[in-house]
Amino acid sequence: MSDETLSNLMHEDRRFAPPEDLAADANVTEDWYARAKEDRLAFWAEQAERLDWDTKWDEVLDWSDPPFAKWFVGGTLNASVNCVDRHVAAGKGDKVAFHWEGEPENDTRTITYAELKDEVCRAANALTELGVSAGDRVAIYMPMIPETAVAMLACARIGAPHTVVFGGFSADALASRIKDCEAHVVITADGGYRRGAPSALKPAVDEAVAKSGDVVKKVLVVKRTGQDVDWDDSRDLWWHDTVDKASSEHEPEAFDSEHPLYVMYTSGTTGKPKGILHTTGGYLTGSAYTHWAVFDLKPDTDVFWCTADVGWVTGHSYMVYGPLANGTTSVMYEGTPDSPHKGRWWEIIAKYGVTLFYTAPTAIRTFMKWGNDIPAQHDLSSLRLLGSVGEPINPEAYVWYRETIGGDRTPVVDTWWQTETGSIMISPLPGVTHGKPGSAMTPIPGVSADVVNDAGEPVPNGSGGFLVLTEPWPAMLRTLWGDDQRFKDTYWSRFKEQGFYFAGDGAKKDEDGDLWLLGRVDDVMNVSGHRLSTTEIESALVSHPKVAEAAVVGATDETTGQAVCAFVILRESAVEEADEVGEGADLVEELRRHVQKEIGAIAKPRQIMIVPELPKTRSGKIMRRLLKDVAERREVGDVTTLADSTVMDLISKNLSGGR
Ligand code: WT7
């Protein structure tokens, strides 16, 4: 983000104090910051007490071999017991865990904690029956239905790390993840409902399984839509034939605090996604504590709704693990916000009396575009707190969110974190912080972050630099699946001397020392709050037979934050063909579809520009900065380090020439 954008952001100078009643009864008060600072490890040990441990830990943190952390060393626990059984044992079996709302109207289910426990136990027995044991990986490729949470918890119950792959990802993306973590079992559904129609999942699984050699032995399929599916009798099993028939009695085993809980793949700066590994005790401590502290959760009265898909880390921490560990009643919604009408989300809030609502800036900006009339038709008075995650929330969207959705009474918490951090790191505290629209404010109690310059020195207030986390935290990633070296290189080498975790984000400290996140400083884009690698999309483009070379940039986009813009050089033969038949536009569409097929719809470029050359430095590095200028329709910046300084003229001329 440029300085100009930043100063625009800072034009909004209203401050929003916590509502008095919320502050008076807040879970977390101002003194927590100092208390956590005074004895960080004691503070985290206190947070870990939120969980039920079978064996208490001997040591809070073992940091003797950085950057490989061990938290709550010697402790043992079962994550699914913490999310389910213990609430039933405490007499809360009848409490609703999920109000599930299918996309087709009136297709709803209410799942109590007691029902969830039975279902998780059945699924755990079924998975064991299929040969899954502790340590084995299970891939989950599902729509947003209750069975998805059940599948995750069943895996956790038997100590089998799950890897949930977003249902919008392609068969290829699924195959590469299945292969990388060698998942022998895949849990999926025939499909789910999206935009008013059934959307198939099983065919992508069939294709991915075929592409994964003989890794996958069993595919467990939930019948959701009833659409036709191909079936392999030796491999495929229906959930209703298997899980429904299994016993609802299951004796849970206590696992080591550091036992792997799940692997979540995310885009890095290279084409190969990174398998972020989270373990049990620390991760669950982090998600439970932050869910309770940042959302000021009152488990007996609140109804929480996080709109994220379970295929992303937000869905893991704030739809499954955090809320369930805290015994919360949550809403889970299957479909898109505009189905069957653009007020669906607000209708759901009114229907279930949602009090705490967590969504992404891109969604908020979309609703702004749709107009105030739509939310105005629904009773949103149950809401008492709003959250935002995924990218910086621009002050206009923040103020709109607060006023139009929150009735000008709810605090907005802008929460910064990453797949890697496992849970929220930087955020206002709703009962303490005087919120500034556009700023994620300060690290929460227990978390230590700073903004540093190139040399790793903290910058003074009023300056910008790189965001770092200066102390380990319980929910931190432990490594990248199967690649300790890449783990060290990616996060811990940039500020090795200082021992800081490098987040990959730029940030600024304002005059009060509050933090403003400025976006990625590496070749990673943020489209609708989802992380995409420029390199990954470039590889997808060059895998098309007509493409010789490709460069991808993230250009500012009013709704999605950033949008994928690609510059493509065609192979000689394709250029000639295109000229002859005048198929430029068709080809662009073909390439966009190709990216969708290779990676998924979220990666589909907004724009593809066919160009004769790409701007490169003498050492051959593509200067994406210049391409970004073109994509954002700005005057092109300094070209003096280009190997051939006329390239940009050539590109501009070519683009104004029609394509
Ligand atoms: C990247 C992490 C963690 C949930 C979803 C995304 C950006 C996330 C914010 C925020 C500014 C944010 C950062 C970060 N980001 N939240 N509140 N303000 N930027 O998870 O896919 O791992 O992406 O999203 O750039 O590094 P993710």
What confidence tens digit (pLDDT) does each residue in 277-323 have?
A: 999 999 999 999 999 999 999 999 999 999 999 999 999 999 999 99
Domain boundary among 443, 473, 506: 506
Residues ≥6 apart with Cβ < 8 Å to 529 = 360, 361, 362, 389, 390, 391, 561
The mean pLDDT value for 78-94 works out to 98
Q: Are residues 548 and 464 in the same domain?
A: no
Q: Are residues 409 and 477 in the same domain?
A: yes
| CB of 417 closer than 6 angstroms to any ligand 1 atom | yes
144 in a structural domain: no
| Count of domains observed in the chain | 2
Greater pLDDT, 655 or 325: 325
- The reply, when asked if residue 607 is annotated as ligand binding, is no
The mean pLDDT value for 468-480 works out to 98
Domain boundary among 441, 471, 506: 506
621: left (phi over 0), alpha (psi -120 to 50) or beta: beta
- The reply, when asked if residue 419 is annotated as ligand binding, is yes
| CB of 416 closer than 6 angstroms to any ligand 1 atom | yes
Query: Identity (one letter) of the amino acid at 230?
Result: D
Query: Ligand 1 centroid to 191 CA: how many Å?
Result: 28
Quote the distance between the C-alpha of residue 328 and its chain's center. Answer: 21
The mean pLDDT value for 621-647 works out to 85
The mean pLDDT value for 197-220 works out to 97
Ligand 1 atom having least distance to the Cα of 504: 26
CATH of the domain at 582: 3.30.300.30
User: Which of 427, 477, 517 to mutate to test ligand 1, by most ligand atoms within 8 A of the CB atom?
Assistant: 517
The mean pLDDT value for 184-195 works out to 97
pLDDT at residue 491 greater than cutoff 70: yes
pLDDT at residue 1 greater than cutoff 60: no
474 in a structural domain: yes
Which of 182-191, 265-274, 329-338, 354-363 bottoms out in mean pLDDT, i.e. has the lowest?
A: 265-274
Task: Tell me which long-range contacts 33-41 makes (C-beta under 8 A, separation of at least 24).
Answer: 33/442, 33/445, 35/445, 36/445, 36/446, 37/445, 40/446, 40/448, 40/471
| CB of 9 closer than 6 angstroms to any ligand 1 atom | no
ipTM entry: 0.99
The mean pLDDT value for 492-502 works out to 98
- The reply, when asked if residue 194 is annotated as ligand binding, is yes
pLDDT of residue 474: 98
* Per-residue tokens: 30: 């101002």
pLDDT at residue 257 greater than cutoff 50: yes
Quote the distance between the C-alpha of residue 543 and its chain's center. Answer: 27
The residue segments making up the domain with residue 462 are 20-78+254-506
Q: Are residues 324 and 466 in the same domain?
A: yes
Q: Are residues 484 and 342 in the same domain?
A: yes
The mean pLDDT value for 585-602 works out to 93
Q: Are residues 364 and 293 in the same domain?
A: yes
Q: What's this model's pTM, rounded to 2 decimal places? A: 0.91
Q: Are residues 291 and 419 in the same domain?
A: yes
* Per-residue tokens: 151: 């599948």
Q: Are residues 570 and 534 in the same domain?
A: yes
Quote the distance between the C-alpha of residue 59 and its chain's center. Answer: 31
CATH of the domain at 364: 3.40.50.12780
243 in a structural domain: no
Residue 221 to residue 241: CA distance in whole angstroms: 10
The mean pLDDT value for 121-143 works out to 98
108 in a structural domain: no
pLDDT at residue 641 greater than cutoff 80: no
CA angle (214, 216, 220) in 5-degree steps:
150
User: Which of 314, 418, 447 to mutate to test ligand 1, by most ligand atoms within 8 A of the CB atom?
Assistant: 418
pLDDT at residue 617 greater than cutoff 50: yes
402 in a structural domain: yes
User: Which of 319, 441, 531, 602 to mutate to test ligand 1, by most ligand atoms within 8 A of the CB atom?
Assistant: 531
Q: Are residues 462 and 548 in the same domain?
A: no
pLDDT at residue 353 greater than cutoff 60: yes
User: Distances in Å between the alpha carbon of 292 and those of 366, 430, 442?
Assistant: 28, 11, 17
| CB of 394 closer than 6 angstroms to any ligand 1 atom | no
Ligand 1 atom having least distance to the Cα of 393: 18
The mean pLDDT value for 46-53 works out to 98
Query: Ligand 1 centroid to 493 CA: how many Å?
Result: 21
Query: Ligand 1 centroid to 417 CA: how many Å?
Result: 5
111 in a structural domain: no
Q: Are residues 543 and 422 in the same domain?
A: no
Q: Looking at residue 92, what DSSP letter applies?
A: I
Q: Are residues 610 and 640 in the same domain?
A: yes
232 in a structural domain: no
Q: Are residues 543 and 401 in the same domain?
A: no
Q: Are residues 489 and 596 in the same domain?
A: no
Domain boundary among 472, 506, 540: 506
511 in a structural domain: no
| CB of 313 closer than 6 angstroms to any ligand 1 atom | yes
Mean predicted lDDT score pLDDT of the chain: 94
- The reply, when asked if residue 531 is annotated as ligand binding, is yes
